[in-house]
Structure 1
Amino acid sequence: MRVLQLIDSLEIGGAERMAVNYANALHKRVEVSALCVTRKEGQLKTLIDPEVPYLYLKRKRRLDVAAVLRLKRFIQKHKIEIIQAHGSSYFLAVLVKLITPGLKLIWHDHFGNSEYLAGRKATSLKLLSSYFDGIFAVNEKLVLWSKQKLKVKKTFYIKNFIAEALPFDTDFEISGAKGKRMVCVANLRPQKNHHMLLDAFKLVLEHDAGYTLHLFGSVPESLYAKSLVERLEEEPFSKSVFFYGTYLKISAILPHFDIGVLSSDSEGLPLALLEYGQAGIPVITTDVGQCRAVLGDFGKLVPAQNPAALAEAIRASGFMTDDKAVDVKKLKDRILLEYGEPIVIQKVISKYAEII
């Protein structure tokens, strides 16, 4: 098989991480595994296997004929059979399919607001979905939506997967008391609802001032991000909150922390949960998207937009006990077995064959 991953950006984000993960994982298992970024490169470029054929299109506008032709030449050079178009890159993928006979197109839906699908704007998707030979969706709600709204029969639930963890970074410096260091890996976007997390953290500190909160994620130019940064500077507990921005090799440092938290209003299948589990730390998350399916009985789920419930779950986590250690071990085993690279890629390759 000869497969191309298509993504609009290589900035740090869930869909972008998965595009790189797919290109690297498939490189070891198929004849050609290539990657093309259409609009903007970013830090994730450094994680691409040097043997993966790579193209940066420098696409300037929505209808960029020159970019489409460059992509076609790349496809012809590497004899690509399948384009796996992640997120918004499906538009360019359709254009190149129209002028490349025999090319198969799979759209990979990473839509994070799966709790609010009724309001999803999908005019372009509905117009172009007839060109999709298949759809991969990161949770079961998205599978149902695609079958109902886009009428694509070959729509499959494909779990996100994690790459092998990087070696533990013993030099990473971390503040806070052992057992009380919470970490949240989430870009500063409204969907992730950091304000709820801060509300919960404030309640936790009222009972135990020893807790610290460690935030990782990009800061887009948005009103939400601006308001959050301003709040972090103004809150009286700001000295207990540490913001690191983006951190490329997050799996190397997560074991330093004691609790992994997500406070999202909505999710698809968040990579952060898989990374927390892989790192062997207790996990607390809102009950949205595929989070319940990921954790099973080995993590804590709380209602979305409920800081009191989140604070209670954090306080209950406390220091590691024998029972909690067993749950952490079971979650790690579950993540590696069900969301590890080998099992997911095996399923993906079987779906490629079915679509071809």
Structure 2
Amino acid sequence: MRVLQLIDSLEIGGAERMAVNYANALHKRIAVSAFCVTRKEGALKALIDPEIPYLYLERKRRLDFAAVFRLQQFIKKHNIDVIQAHGSSCFVSVLVKLVTPGLKLIWHDHYGKSEFLAERKATSLRMLSVFFDAVFAVNEKLAHWSIEKLKVENAFYIKNFIAEALPMDSDFEVFGAKGKRIVCVANLRPQKNHQLLLDAFKWVLEQDAAFTLHLFGQAADRFYADSLFERMKAEPFTKSVFYYGTHLKMSAILPHFDVGVLSSDSEGLPLALLEYGQAGLDAVATDVGQCKVVLGHYGKIIPPRDKEALAEAVLKSSSADSEFRANAAGFREKVLCEFGESEIIEHVITLYAEII
């Protein structure tokens, strides 16, 4: 079995991390696991196993036929059976499928706004979906959407999974009182609703000034990010909020924190939530996407856009009470059992075989 992971960028993001996770996990289990990034390399390139066949396509425009030809030659060289095209890379994957007889194409849908699927435009995807042999979706709503809107019969909900945790980075400097360090790992864009998180954190500080908030993520939306940075500087809590930008090896530093938070208006299946569990953190998340399924009865699920509920959940989750410590331990076990690499990747390999 010979599979190519295809994605448009290697900047730090959930879909990009999953593409790398797939390539690395498959490398241990199949004849060839290859990787191609079409438009932009980034920090995540450093996490790709150096033995994996790799191509930077340097695609310059939407209809870049020279890039399609280069991709076709790479596919022929490595006798690729299946392309797993993540997110927006589905367009170039369809073009190369048209000129490569026998090639199977799986589109992996990472769409993060699954709470707003009624607003999702389907026209171009419906045209491309004629060439999809299957769709993998990161939550159940997206799988149903592909069946109903794209008329793809082979649409499967495939859980995101986490790579093995790295050793804790003892040199990482973190501020704030132990037990009261809140962390949020989410790129800075509107659907992640950091403004709600700041509103809730302001209320938390009124109850206990020892709390600190630690934000990780790429400034993906410049206008949104600038408004956040301006607020952080202007508000009285400025000395209690820390922004670190992106960090390549989150699993090595998350154990320094205590409560992992997602305040999103919409999600697919957030990798950050799995990483919170893997690190043994208490977790608080809004009831969007697969967050409730991931957390189960561990952690706290709150309504989206409810700052009071978010603040109260953070205060309770930071408690030293044994019940909350047990929740964190239970959540860790659940994540490792249900969202670990082995079980999910073996299921995916079975699906590859059926598709081929």
| Structure 1 and Structure 2 fold alike (TM over 0.5) | yes
Measured in 2, the distance between the counterparts of 1:214 and 1:274 equals 18
Aligned positions of 1:182-201 closer than 5 A: 182-201=182-201
- TM-score relative to the length of structure 2: 0.99
Measured in 2, the distance between the counterparts of 1:297 and 1:346 equals 27
Measured in 2, the distance between the counterparts of 1:30 and 1:163 equals 17
Aligned positions of 1:203-214 closer than 5 A: 203-214=203-214
2:103 aligned residue: 103
Measured in 2, the distance between the counterparts of 1:230 and 1:60 equals 35
Measured in 1, the distance between the counterparts of 2:129 and 2:187 equals 29
Deviation at 1:346, TM superposition (A): 0.7
Measured in 1, the distance between the counterparts of 2:203 and 2:330 equals 29
Which sits farther off after the overlay, 323-332 or 308-317? 323-332
Matched, 1:8 2:39: no
2:157 aligned residue: 157
Give the share of equivalent positions with the same residue, in percent: 69
Measured in 2, the distance between the counterparts of 1:177 and 1:222 equals 31
Deviations along 1:131-185, one digit per CA (max 9) or x if unpaired, are 0000000000001100000011010000000000000111111100111100000
2:282 aligned residue: 282
Matched, 1:22 2:33: no
Contact 2:176 2:211 (8 Å CA) reproduced = yes
2:147 aligned residue: 147
Letter in 1 for 2:62: R
Letter in 1 for 2:52: V
Contact 2:189 2:221 (8 Å CA) reproduced = no
Measured in 2, the distance between the counterparts of 1:349 and 1:16 equals 20
Deviation at 1:319, TM superposition (A): 2.9
Aligned positions of 1:44-63 closer than 5 A: 44-63=44-63
Matched, 1:83 2:89: no
Deviations along 1:326-353, one digit per CA (max 9) or x if unpaired, are 2111111110111000011011001111
1:304 aligned residue: 304
Which sits farther off after the overlay, 323-332 or 253-262? 323-332
Deviations along 1:283-312, one digit per CA (max 9) or x if unpaired, are 000010000000000110010001111001
Deviation at 1:236, TM superposition (A): 1.2
Measured in 1, the distance between the counterparts of 2:95 and 2:318 equals 53
Give secondary structure in 2 for the equivalent of 1:147: helix
Measured in 1, the distance between the counterparts of 2:185 and 2:337 equals 22
Distance 1:29 1:131, change over 3 A: same
2:128 aligned residue: 128
Deviation at 1:129, TM superposition (A): 0.4
Measured in 2, the distance between the counterparts of 1:94 and 1:109 equals 15
Deviation at 1:320, TM superposition (A): 2.7
Measured in 1, the distance between the counterparts of 2:352 and 2:101 equals 17
Measured in 2, the distance between the counterparts of 1:207 and 1:322 equals 21
Moved over 3 A (4+): none
Contact 2:181 2:212 (8 Å CA) reproduced = yes
2:340 aligned residue: 340
Letter in 2 for 1:176: G
2:324 aligned residue: 324
1:222 aligned residue: 222
Which blocks of at least 5 consecutive residues in structure 1 are unaligned? Answer: none
Which sits farther off after the overlay, 328-337 or 85-94? 328-337
Deviation at 1:221, TM superposition (A): 4.7
Measured in 2, the distance between the counterparts of 1:220 and 1:115 equals 20
1:67 aligned residue: 67
Which blocks of at least 5 consecutive residues in structure 2 are unaligned? Answer: none
Deviations along 1:19-46, one digit per CA (max 9) or x if unpaired, are 0000000000000000000000000000
Measured in 2, the distance between the counterparts of 1:122 and 1:231 equals 36
Contact 2:172 2:253 (8 Å CA) reproduced = yes
Letter in 1 for 2:331: L
Deviation at 1:232, TM superposition (A): 1.4
Measured in 1, the distance between the counterparts of 2:78 and 2:39 equals 21
Give secondary structure in 1 for the equivalent of 2:236: coil
Deviation at 1:126, TM superposition (A): 0.6
User: CA-atom RMSD, angstroms?
Assistant: 0.7
Measured in 1, the distance between the counterparts of 2:138 and 2:16 equals 14
Deviation at 1:220, TM superposition (A): 2.4
Measured in 1, the distance between the counterparts of 2:204 and 2:8 equals 40
Measured in 1, the distance between the counterparts of 2:54 and 2:228 equals 36
Give secondary structure in 1 for the equivalent of 2:4: strand
Measured in 2, the distance between the counterparts of 1:98 and 1:317 equals 52
Deviation at 1:226, TM superposition (A): 1.6
Letter in 1 for 2:145: W
Give secondary structure in 2 for the equivalent of 1:237: helix
Aligned positions of 1:198-277 closer than 5 A: 198-277=198-277
Contact 2:299 2:317 (8 Å CA) reproduced = no
Deviation at 1:218, TM superposition (A): 0.5
Contact 2:133 2:154 (8 Å CA) reproduced = yes
Deviation at 1:222, TM superposition (A): 2.6
1:169 aligned residue: 169
- TM-score relative to the length of structure 1: 0.99
Letter in 2 for 1:37: V
Which sits farther off after the overlay, 230-239 or 150-159? 230-239
Deviation at 1:81, TM superposition (A): 0.2
State the number of aligned residues: 356
Measured in 2, the distance between the counterparts of 1:40 and 1:63 equals 16
